[in-house]
Amino acid sequence: MAFLQMKSYAGRLLLTVLLGLFLSCESKVTNTSKKEESKDPIAYKIDSILSNMSLEEKIGQTAQRGKSSRVKELPKDLKEAVRKGQIGSFLNIMNKEDAKELQMLAVEESPNKIPLIFARDVIHGFKTIFPIPLGQAASFNPMLVQEGARVAAIEASTSGIRWTFAPMLDISRDPRWGRIAESAGEDPYLTGVMAEAYIKGFQGEDLSSPTSMAACAKHFIGYGAAEGGRDYNTANINENLLHNVYLKPFKIAVNAGSATFMTSFNDLNGVPASANKYILKDILRDEWGFDGFVVSDWNSIIEMINHGFAKDKKEAAEKSINAMLDMEMTSASYQDYLKELIEEGKFSEKKLDVIVRNILRIKFRLGLFHNLYFDSNDTILYDKKHLASAQESAAESTVLLKNINNLLPINSKKKLAIIGPLANAPHEQLGTWTFDGEKEHTITPLKSFQQDGQYTIQYSEGVSYSRDKSTKGFGNAINTAKSSDVILFFAGEEAILSGEAHSRANINLPGVQEELINELHKTGKPIVLVIMAGRPITLGNIIDKVDAVLMAWHPGTMGGPALKNIITGVVSPSGKLPVTWPKEVGQIPIHYNHKNTGRPVIPEEFVHMDSIPIAAWQSSLGNTSHYLDAGFLPQYPFGYGLSYSNFKYSDVRISSANPKIGDTITVKTIITNTGNIKAKETVQLYFRDMVGSLTRPVKELLRFKKVTLEAGASKEVIFNFSTDDVSFYGQDKLWVTEPGDFKLWVSKHSMDEANELEFTLE
Ligand code: NOJ
């Protein structure tokens, strides 16, 4: 990480001793009561600004505006509004000169000289694009994720962006949902670990440094539970699931110091998140003590009219402001109606002061009051070290799912046929949410093999883009395959097929990719299928036709070299699935941490529908919680991923078979790389609470550790956890740790039960 510390910015900072003091004290502020604040210099400063602010200016701080990219000039009315202090933040101002001009107006001409915050969706890189977040989660490597977020902050802050709308922490159990690409997958613990890594990376060691960006934990809450995976849809999440699964990573985000939160578009159990007092006030503020600010999602306040929750804009504003939603993104219901609502006694100026304090507090923490302007250091964009970091991240995100007869890695004597719509698609491999990454900087797999020069390659795209339905390229591709030893087929989805409002009802390879794979299979040449996509892809029609499968997600700028190194064995794959991979869409939702049911699957008794006799006696006996056609297994389980090496787990042990509540429990194992190459393995610790006052999942990820081992080397892996880590939110609406029997598994993936331990909590 040392290289990311960057050069000194001291010269750029207009630090005063007093403000330095303010900042050092600010981090200690947790209690916002008036008395406490008066002891604190920043709170004191905020109070003194507040006392000079008119009601209009206070309302102004709650407004976040954007500018259409189609409009070249900064509109006059926008400038005027800034001059009057009627805007608190902007999003998507991408012209640095515009940003500078607006900031100057704010800090020099507005009544209280309050700086603006410029925000942007910097989701998985700014210019140097890292793998999509689902891919980064597959690395199971929080240090790499933190480093990627740091790179993003360093690059984005050169444009004055000091606030990113990331990380997205929505638990995603439905790969039809396009935004699964932007998530860390289905597991609350893994998502929490990733949350902390992103927040540390974006915010850096000191939020007031000009290269730090405020993080935004989003979307609060339940967006990933959208009905049927259709974006923006209703989320019905019962109280237990809400606390035990969906809220968990957000709590971790608060503890990690996320400066801001964003509400979600969906309604949660009938109450839209943007006016949901229970989550915004009772949980986020009162229970968790969050002292940053909350922004709505794009127009999500006024969309409550469509939800049928508010009759008009005014009522929408009333409901959101009373839920203490601090800032309104893009729509202007607060601006238009807050004054009226206060005059009518439907909200109070005192409460508005609390909101303005929340916003100003973050502006102070960002150092915006003393570091007025930014100067851009463009030379840092696409820095060599940033590219190296993106390549490492892409390599560690790649998951080896299948490798018959050790087809991979491929040695340089083999002639390679490079085929498929994603082999040389510089824009597509960047993935969703890459407004700023430029395809000219992308290195595709084809380019990477060409640049390497050691391999005999022939290229024929076969189909020109993922949805292409034309078969006119098939002939060439088949001939190319015939004159080669191995086919590298780069398949997948274009970037536009995942992300916001890009859900799919079928999640197979689109277009005629499957047909082409079938034709190539007929050549008898072995096929390595490399998938670039924003979600797991159902492979039922082709899985038996290919010999090896690598899931590369959308790997970003440096996907090409990362994949070339894996395919050729320079690097052994080490990614693990952060989501359960279904065989068929009909199995969705499918996730490893499900409940057992009263009739759990009995694998040896499963009868496929093709084996049921005609006119069989109608009975449910012998049948369990499975599908007659698709069975009960996923294609690949959560946590799964192969390596070019093998790992032996031995000497698995627990510190105590009868721990007491409050104890720390230690699980140890020795892991040995039994293969002949250096490789990484993610050791996963799962648990099951066997009997609970609420039914418990069959398995929950408790800890994981990624270790690097030279060929033949061994290492001891130690996991510590407390009995709080196996607690759950129970029937009495409290967190409980219940005495009783627990099982633990030290595993290679969520279905591996080879190393089982037990303990009884007393
Ligand atoms: C809508 C998306 O849901 C949110 O994640 C994003 O940050 C905002 N638009 C701003 O672009």
Q: Is the CB of 92 under 6 A from ligand 1?
A: no
pLDDT digit string, tens, across residues 460-493 = 999 999 999 999 999 999 999 999 999 999 999 9
Q: Is the CB of 500 under 6 A from ligand 1?
A: yes
107: Cβ–Cβ under 8 A, 6 or more apart, which residues?
A: 113, 114, 115, 372
CA 725 to centroid of ligand 1, rounded, Å: 32
Residue 453, Cβ neighbours under 10 Å: how many?
7
Mutational test site, ligand 1, from 121, 170, 219, max ligand atoms within 8 Å of CB: 121
Residue from 297, 326, 436, 547 carrying the catalytic annotation: 297
CA 16 to centroid of ligand 1, rounded, Å: 36
CA 309 to centroid of ligand 1, rounded, Å: 21
Residue 113 token pair: 């000289």
The H or E element spanning position 743 is strand 740-747
CA separation, residue 169 to residues 81, 181, 252 (Å): 34, 11, 10
Annotated catalytic residue 297: yes
Among protein residues, the one whose CA lies closest to atom 3 of ligand 1: 297
CA 636 to centroid of ligand 1, rounded, Å: 31
CA 761 to centroid of ligand 1, rounded, Å: 44
Q: Is the pLDDT of residue 742 over 60?
A: yes
pLDDT for 40 equals 86
Angle between helices 188-203 and 248-255 (to 10 degrees): 30
| Nearest atom, ligand 1, residue 265 CA | 3
Q: Which long-range contacts (CB under 8 A, 24 or more apart) does 39-45 make?
A: 42/361, 42/364, 43/357, 43/361, 45/364, 45/369
Among protein residues, the one whose CA lies closest to atom 7 of ligand 1: 165
CA 343 to centroid of ligand 1, rounded, Å: 32
Quote the CA–CA distance of 237 and 283 in Å, as a whole number.
Answer: 15
Quote the CA–CA distance of 215 and 240 in Å, as a whole number.
Answer: 27
Band of pLDDT at residue 13, cut at 50, 70 and 90: very low
pLDDT for 370 equals 87
Instruction: Give bridge partners of residue 262 from the DSSP assignment.
Output: 295
Quote the CA–CA distance of 369 and 372 in Å, as a whole number.
Answer: 6
Query: Do the beta carbons of residue 638 and residue 579 sit within 8 Å?
Result: yes
CA 2 to centroid of ligand 1, rounded, Å: 32
Q: What is the CATH number of domain 389-567?
A: 3.40.50.1700
Give the dihedral of Cα atoms 377, 382, 388, 392; nearest 10 deg: 110
Radius of gyration of the chain (CA): 27
Question: What secondary structure, in 3-state letters, does 631-642 show?
Answer: ECCCCECCCCCE
Q: Is the pLDDT of residue 30 over 60?
A: no
Q: Is the pLDDT of residue 23 over 60?
A: no
Exposure string (b/e) for 368-377, b if CB count within 10 Å is 16 or more? Answer: bbbbbebeeb
pLDDT digit string, tens, across residues 73-132 = 899 999 999 999 999 999 999 888 899 999 999 999 999 999 999 999 999 999 999 999
Quote the CA–CA distance of 195 and 347 in Å, as a whole number.
Answer: 34
pLDDT digit string, tens, across residues 700-712 = 999 999 999 999 9
Q: Is the CB of 303 under 6 A from ligand 1?
A: no
Q: Which CATH superfamily is domain 647-761 in?
A: Immunoglobulins (2.60.40.10)
Band of pLDDT at residue 373, cut at 50, 70 and 90: low
pLDDT digit string, tens, across residues 514-549 = 999 999 999 999 999 999 999 999 999 999 999 999
- pLDDT over 90, % of the chain: 90
Among protein residues, the one whose CA lies closest to atom 4 of ligand 1: 297
Q: Is the CB of 220 under 6 A from ligand 1?
A: no
CA 220 to centroid of ligand 1, rounded, Å: 12
Pairing, β 548-551 against β 399-403: antiparallel
689: Cβ–Cβ under 8 A, 6 or more apart, which residues?
A: 696, 726, 728, 738, 740, 742
CA 530 to centroid of ligand 1, rounded, Å: 30
| Nearest atom, ligand 1, residue 166 CA | 7
CA 7 to centroid of ligand 1, rounded, Å: 32
CA 387 to centroid of ligand 1, rounded, Å: 26
Query: Which range among 5-14, 133-142, 518-527, 745-754 shows the weakest confidence by mean pLDDT?
Result: 5-14
Query: Do the beta carbons of residue 358 and residue 261 sit within 8 Å?
Result: no
Q: Is the CB of 147 under 6 A from ligand 1?
A: no
**Roughly how many angstroms between the first and final C-alpha of the chain, as a whole number?**
43
Query: Which range among 309-323, 374-388, 445-459, 648-662 shows the weakest confidence by mean pLDDT?
Result: 374-388
Among protein residues, the one whose CA lies closest to atom 1 of ligand 1: 298
The H or E element spanning position 318 is helix 313-322
The greatest distance separating any two alpha carbons of the chain, rounded to the nearest whole angstrom, comes to 87
Q: Is the CB of 121 under 6 A from ligand 1?
A: yes
Mutational test site, ligand 1, from 69, 122, 294, 298, max ligand atoms within 8 Å of CB: 298
Strand order in the sheet with 260-263: 216-220, 260-263, 293-295
Quote the CA–CA distance of 578 and 354 in Å, as a whole number.
Answer: 39
Quote the CA–CA distance of 175 and 581 in Å, as a whole number.
Answer: 9
Q: Is the CB of 519 under 6 A from ligand 1?
A: no
Quote the CA–CA distance of 167 and 219 in Å, as a whole number.
Answer: 9
In this structure, is the dihedral angle defined by the CA atoms of residues 135, 141, 144 and 145, taken in order, positive or negative?
A: positive
Band of pLDDT at residue 34, cut at 50, 70 and 90: low
CA 129 to centroid of ligand 1, rounded, Å: 18
Quote the CA–CA distance of 242 and 232 in Å, as a whole number.
Answer: 18
Among protein residues, the one whose CA lies closest to atom 9 of ligand 1: 298
Among protein residues, the one whose CA lies closest to atom 11 of ligand 1: 121
pLDDT digit string, tens, across residues 163-219 = 999 999 999 999 999 999 999 999 999 999 999 999 999 999 999 999 999 999 999
**DSSP, res 180:** G
Average pLDDT, the chain: 94
Alpha helices in 422-509 (DSSP H): 445-452, 474-482
40: Cβ–Cβ under 8 A, 6 or more apart, which residues?
A: 25, 26, 28, 29
CA separation, residue 706 to residues 355, 427, 528, 590, 716 (Å): 42, 31, 26, 25, 12
Query: Do the beta carbons of residue 683 and residue 707 sit within 8 Å?
Result: yes
Q: Is the CB of 474 under 6 A from ligand 1?
A: no
Domain boundaries defined on the chain: 389-567, 591-633, 647-761
Cis peptide before 221 (omega within 30 of 0): yes
Alpha helices in 550-617 (DSSP H): 559-567
Quote the CA–CA distance of 34 and 353 in Å, as a whole number.
Answer: 12
Mutational test site, ligand 1, from 219, 261, 262, max ligand atoms within 8 Å of CB: 262
Burial of 181: CB neighbours in 10 Å, binned 0-12, 13-18, 19+: buried
Q: Is the CB of 218 under 6 A from ligand 1?
A: yes
Length of the chain: 762
Q: Is the CB of 278 under 6 A from ligand 1?
A: no
CA 317 to centroid of ligand 1, rounded, Å: 19
Band of pLDDT at residue 5, cut at 50, 70 and 90: very low
Quote the CA–CA distance of 636 and 582 in Å, as a whole number.
Answer: 7
Position of tokens 């039914």? 695
The predicted model gives 150-160 an average pLDDT of 95
Question: What secondary structure, in 3-state letters, does 598-615 show?
Answer: CCCCCHHHCCCHHHCCCC
Q: Is the CB of 298 under 6 A from ligand 1?
A: yes
Q: Is the CB of 165 under 6 A from ligand 1?
A: yes
Q: Is the CB of 297 under 6 A from ligand 1?
A: yes
